[in-house]
Amino acid sequence: MSRNRNHRRANVSQIAGRPQDHKQSKNTVRRVNVRGIDIDIDPKVLDDWEFMESLYDLQADPKGNALQIIPFLRRLLGDSYDKVKNGLRGADGRIDGETMGTFLTELFEEMGKAFPNS
């Protein structure tokens, strides 16, 4: 049998150094942009039991208290919460409910893209 001297074996270190896929780490903060506002979302928040409880409370709304959205958003947005509020203010300095509702819809759509399967 003849040996093919031109045949190179892949170096194990070369294989190990290659990314196996293009998925972002589950611990990587993701940036989403909604209405021109860059928002950093820490995926650790999405894996927090108390955050899940607040999400449940919002969906179930057993007390009819939709205002539970405020602590939910504060936890979700973290340091970006004030930036979001300032970005949504109208000319009169207020944030109306319709603007916030539209923002939330767009935010969850963008999060669905940034955090698939979460």
- Whether residue 93 is contained in a domain is answered as yes
What is the C-alpha to C-alpha distance for residues 95 and 5, in angstroms, rounded to an integer? 72
Residue 89 lies in domain: 27-114
> What confidence score (pLDDT) does residue 15 get?
41
In tens, the pLDDT along 8-31 reads 544 443 444 445 555 556 678 899
- Whether residue 8 is contained in a domain is answered as no
Average pLDDT score over residue span 37-41: 92
- Whether residue 17 is contained in a domain is answered as no
- Counting the structural domains of the chain, the total is 1
In tens, the pLDDT along 98-114 reads 999 899 999 999 999 98
- Whether residue 20 is contained in a domain is answered as no
- Sign of the dihedral through C-alpha 70, 72, 74, 80: negative
| β-sheet bridge partners, residue 39 | 32
Average pLDDT score over residue span 29-35: 92
- Whether residue 9 is contained in a domain is answered as no
Token pair 């940034």 is found at: 114
